[in-house]
Chains A and B, each alone.
Chain A
């Protein structure tokens, strides 16, 4: 074993995590000390609308939209599966567009209109997509489910808006609500319980009643 990381280990010891300096291409920040580690972290005020309700928060700038929802507003329907944009459980709809709320800062959403799973429907008044997921058993453990449903609602909108996907046959034509289109577009929402086949049926039913 002569890998240089061996030398690295013995020479300097290891940081438990994190590099002391990060290489950056745009900005040289070798020893940037814009923020002193012992001072309280910078906080900022942000206001946005969540599920039709105006919310005002003062947040550590590092707070993701997901953590603002889950920890500060206690809207825990949006899930943290990976916190790195690799699973889709945190999917919410911001200004009509679905995004991963774990990979965006809350303070970047001043004035935004945010819809979470709680805003789509409630146990007493289910959104048609929520009802279809129940009918077709489009979930098992339920953890990816809010993200799947937010994506499902948005995906039908994206198809209707004519946005192409990887499986759209002709770029100059309009995509249809086909099994392949739904599967491809939903692929950013991982379901380890493997409810995909049922989710497809739930979405197909909702799309059908719409058309």
Chain B
């Protein structure tokens, strides 16, 4: 870990000003991913701005019947929120399917959105990685890729976005609210928040320099049955091989988003329209153009089978 200076910000404006003042700054909230990466010098900030004092830790209804989740609401508190449990069950389910109790107690809503990939070649600084060192190559391509992405990949990177929470947020059409160092606020649809890797896998999100996430808003509840089905080798404390977030209505319509298979939470609106036709129809639309590796080709049938399980669970419920 490289040396860094540290300060605590108490307002978003103060945090933004600090970023401008100090080159090489990063915000730190829960720190569960950033510190992990700093220990390996995959992240090397020269200055940390602790944003935990920003009072962005409340969950409030929005005027149009949705929910506004403060950027610093912990994963535990978000999953436990009565409104989320009642109206956005898939979000609560997705969160508690991830990480461990200790990590969820620390991890924040904004930080979780920014969680970086768990590709083992990204984590091993002896290995080439275009994400870690642009232009150095990708050791994962042609290497061990069982956990890695099957769709939305590029010749430069086959890493997955590893999180669970964002898969549910993508399903729910959440919006990310931010403030930039000049004080300007903007909103970014979650669909546009995470980037496909393309030729620039080091660019992972739509955030610009010094931009701070302040909240995530959810539109009005969708009703229906909420399911988050996560498939993994061990029963807990593991990243998804495949996960399916779904909201399914009584008439068989609904929507679905997939985790563990792509650089971002994977949702294809055309696939949603095929929901009444069953898992096969949905999966084929979701995975059109998939380019799995030898190691992770099983994820293609696994997506369809997990979808089938979700549909069966919903019918039974």
A residues lining the B interface (CB < 8 Å): 3-5, 7-8, 14-15, 17-29, 32-35, 37, 39, 41-42, 44, 60-62, 64, 83-85, 88, 91, 97-100, 103-105, 107-108, 110, 151, 154-155, 158, 161-166, 168, 171-172, 183-185, 187-190
B139–A5 touching, CB < 8 Å? yes
Classify chain B: how many residues form its interface, as a range.
35 or more
A88 touches B133 (CB 8 A): no
Q: Is residue B79 within 8 Å, beta carbon to beta carbon, of the partner chain?
A: yes
Q: With an 8 A cutoff between CB atoms, is B26 at the interface? A: yes
Out of A34, A84, A108, name the residue touching B23 (CB < 8 Å).
A34
Number of A-B contacts (CB under 8 A): 214
Asked if B306 is at the interface of the complex by the 8 Å CB criterion, the answer is: no
Top 6 nearest A-B pairs (CB, nearest first) are A188-B100, A32-B24, A4-B137, A34-B46, A23-B202, A5-B128
Q: In the complex, what residues of B have CB within 8 A of residue A5's CB? A: 127-128, 136-137, 139
A166 touching B236, Cβ below 8 Å: yes
Q: Are A187 and B237 in contact (CB under 8 A)?
A: yes
| Cβ contact within 8 Å between A163 and B6 | no
A32 touches B128 (CB 8 A): no
Bound complex: CA A104 to CA B30 (Å): 7
Note all chain B residues with C-beta closer than 8 A to A103.
Answer: 31-32, 35-36, 103, 106
Question: Interface SS of chain B: helix, strand, loop or mixed?
Answer: loop
Q: Which of A19, A108, A187 contacts B41 (CB 8 A)?
A: A19
Let me know if B97 is at the binding interface, CB within 8 A. yes
From residue 40 to 65 of chain B, which have CB atoms closer than 8 A to chain A? 40-48, 50, 52
Given A34-B4, A103-B103, 4 more A-B residue pairs with CB atoms under 8 Å apart are A19-B125, A25-B203, A164-B92, A171-B85
Enumerate chain A residues within 8 angstroms of B133, measured Cβ to Cβ: 19-21, 23
Q: Which residues of chain A are near B237, meaning CB under 8 Å?
A: 187-188, 190
Q: Which residues of A contact B1 (CB under 8 A)?
A: 62
Q: Can you list 7 contacts pairing A with B, beta carbon distance less than 8 Å?
A: A23-B131, A27-B24, A27-B210, A33-B23, A104-B30, A108-B50, A158-B101
Q: Find out whether the CB atom of A100 lies under 8 angstroms from the CB atom of B3.
A: no
Known: A25-B114, A98-B101, A185-B101. A17 touches B126 (CB 8 A): yes
Cα A33 to Cα B143 with chains together (Å):
35
Cα distance A184–B103 in the bound complex, in angstroms: 14
Once the chains are docked, how many angstroms separate the CA of A7 from the CA of B130?
13
Give Cα A177 to B125, complex, Å.
43
* Chain B residues, CB < 8 A from A184: 235-236
Give the shortest distance, in Å, between A145 (CB) and chain B (any CB). Answer: 16
Taking a contact as CB atoms under 8 Å apart, the answer to whether A42 and B4 are in contact is yes
Q: Is the CB of B137 within 8 A of A188?
A: no
Contacts of A88 in B (CB 8 A): 100, 102
> Known: A103-B31, A108-B28, A164-B85. Contact between A188 and B101, CB under 8 A?
yes
Contact of A4 with B92 at beta-carbon distance under 8 Å, contacts A27-B19, A164-B79 already known: no
Known: A62-B4, A164-B92, A188-B237. A32 touches B48 (CB 8 A): no
B271 in the interface, Cβ–Cβ < 8 Å? no
The 8 Å CB contact of B35, one of A20, A35, A104, A151, is A104
Contact B128 A3 (CB under 8 A): yes
Q: Which residues of A contact B23 (CB under 8 A)?
A: 29, 32-34
Known: A18-B41, A26-B26. A98 touches B105 (CB 8 A): yes
Encode B63-89 as 1/0 by CB contact (under 8 A) with A. 000000000000010011000011001
B80 adjacent to A105 (CB under 8 Å): no
CB distance from B84 to the nearest CB of A (A): 9
**Least CB separation from A60: chain B residue:** B3
For residue A105, which residues in chain B have a CB less than 8 angstroms away from its CB?
6, 28, 31, 35, 48
CB under 8 Å from chain A, chain B span 121-149: 125-128, 131-134, 136-139, 141-143
Q: How far is the CA of A99 from the CA of B134 in the complex (A)?
A: 34
Bound form: Cα–Cα A45–B148 in Å: 42
